[in-house]
Structure 1
């Protein structure tokens, strides 16, 4: 039985795309965060919150792949780290630049209220999608599964979510503000970026790994897997038709439930594929 390939695949062009992106953007991300000059207590608490998030997301991904989806051969740890690193570094750095440009254009068109709902899904989701594509490229020699795409996509989105939350926490000025903001960021919409990118990753893995399914069905899954998370992201960022808290929270709750339903649907498909594969006779 061949050993599962690690992320170290220097003969693969996609390896250098991922490695270069992470190595270039990591110091830029640290610089951007530290430019906010957080106070010592804010820095400490923010890093502790980020560390707790990373551990939580890692455990969820591990349980999701090994238990919930019935995976017998989980993705190598190095691939999981690469997925997480892309979301932590590359996505926030490039998305911040792209969002600034798009916000400027949209504000000039009088679409200030909808700028976040338009720019963020396009910039952030596409960058996460590219990261998932790269990591799946490294995972391809061992075979692509919906389960694997779901887990690796989940980690790409988790990395970005931790980075985004960290940027918000660093903007606090005192301990009370940091704790309050942490509760808000973790209590409302926790895991959405991870769930959205997990959906995209599962769809992409299906498209790349099930070539016998036919071109039209695969394209349909690809488009759905990319556009559905973007639509849910846009709905989450869209301005509420009312400032009434019940209305606002009901809308956000609906988007969250729709996201969970879609993710569970893709997870069920991934488990079905894993179960089907396990029943095939060995050669």
Structure 2
């Protein structure tokens, strides 16, 4: 683990002294101007459709943002840097990729043939430009705040947010393009169709996932200083190649006509193209989370103070599923307020673990005890509710039934979406 940047005014001052920070700000400003010009043209031509597209895809971004931000529960990333990552994807990467992808497609047509460009242009040009542009966003985060990237999981989070920003803005552009192509004026039906295809169906394993995969490579390059530089560069290159190859497969004309007719056939194509990168990034996230959790739980275990964290809480804190189980157990035994307090206690314990790790790493920032006090405060509130310990309870059939019910509803919604698009 690397030494963190000191918070508050010290962090702001450190950013101001970093030339890379001002370069990133300049690029974000240029990207904002460019995308604002495009948005102005959209609003002038199709005001209702543009507002609808921004609203739909903006709402889609919220659950993705919340999910990604929860990946690194034990050491949450600063909201400001997360916003920079998202803005890089939505402003810089998109404004670069739109003209560059077109230029590369034209080059493919000249070097190869117009038919090659028509079939494979989007599969070769788009990923080649976009994955590099998005990965540079994670590099930018490293350059302006190196000490905030101290695990592979950090790289995953920042990469996913860059991809999310890119995905949302690109989807809005595609939605308005669909409106213009339909030639029926300022209508929202093409926007809804684009939302179902590019947002709802493809959102799980498109740019957010590709960005996370490349971001994991940058995280590995920065963090694993015990490995040789050549090894780390190769691994980062393989991660970027994996993101590029996954994107190529997703954009490729393979199975463009589907695997037959019906919703099941269309779903099979989505799974075939999207499942490999999804499984890979889930594996990387799980491995990185477990390694980070073991480190921080060991920091808390060294306290040997059950008022700060008990043996059962140590076990629960190290696993996302067990943290969630502890909250459900609190709600079942002491009500909704206990669930809220358990989450707050877990969050306070995570902040304390980070503080302890910084102290053990020789940080010049001296612990001020506020995190110890915060844990004790949350513990006292939990005790007052009659639920003194944030541990998981006995497995409940109600949770299993709820999981099965939620899965059934998700499948039903997916089936309706596929059928609405002509899949059934």
Normalised to the residue count of structure 1, the TM-score between the two structures is 0.90
Change (3 A) 1:74 1:89: same
Asked if structure 2 preserves the Cα contact closer than 8 Å seen for 1:136 and 1:144, the reply is: no
Structure 1 segment 64-143 matched on structure 2, within 5 A: 64-66=71-73, 71=74, 73-108=75-110, 109-110=112-113, 111-112=116-117, 113-143=119-149
Change (3 A) 1:274 1:250: same
Q: Which residue of 2 aligns with 1:164?
A: 170
Question: Helix, strand or coil: the match of 1:130?
Answer: helix
Q: Which residue of 1 aligns with 2:271?
A: 253
Q: Which runs of 5+ in 1 are unaligned?
A: none
Normalised to the residue count of structure 2, the TM-score between the two structures is 0.61
Change (3 A) 1:170 1:99: same
Q: Which residue of 2 aligns with 1:58?
A: 65
Asked if structure 2 preserves the Cα contact closer than 8 Å seen for 1:147 and 1:270, the reply is: yes
Which one of 21, 27, 35 corresponds to residue 21 of structure 1?
A: 27
Q: What's the CA shift for 1:142?
A: 4.0
| C-alpha distance in 2 between matches for 1:241 and 1:143 | 39
Asked if structure 1 preserves the Cα contact closer than 8 Å seen for 2:86 and 2:164, the reply is: yes
Q: Which residue of 1 aligns with 2:47?
A: 40
Q: Which runs of 5+ in 2 are unaligned?
A: 180-185, 303-355, 361-424
Change (3 A) 1:242 1:117: closer
Q: Which residue of 2 aligns with 1:265?
A: 283
RMSD in angstroms over aligned alpha carbons? 2.2
Q: Which residue of 2 aligns with 1:203?
A: 217
Asked if structure 2 preserves the Cα contact closer than 8 Å seen for 1:79 and 1:135, the reply is: yes
| C-alpha distance in 2 between matches for 1:118 and 1:253 | 21
* Bigger relative CO (Cα 8 Å, ≥ 6 apart): 1
Q: Which residue of 1 aligns with 2:208?
A: 194
| C-alpha distance in 1 between matches for 2:66 and 2:131 | 23
Q: What's the CA shift for 1:136?
A: 2.3
Larger Cα Rg: Structure 1 or Structure 2?
2
Change (3 A) 1:249 1:223: same
Which one of 231, 234, 242 corresponds to residue 245 of structure 2?
A: 231
Asked if structure 2 preserves the Cα contact closer than 8 Å seen for 1:75 and 1:148, the reply is: yes
Question: Helix, strand or coil: the match of 1:9?
Answer: helix
Change (3 A) 1:7 1:17: farther
Query: How many pairs were matched up?
Result: 278
Asked if structure 1 preserves the Cα contact closer than 8 Å seen for 2:142 and 2:149, the reply is: no
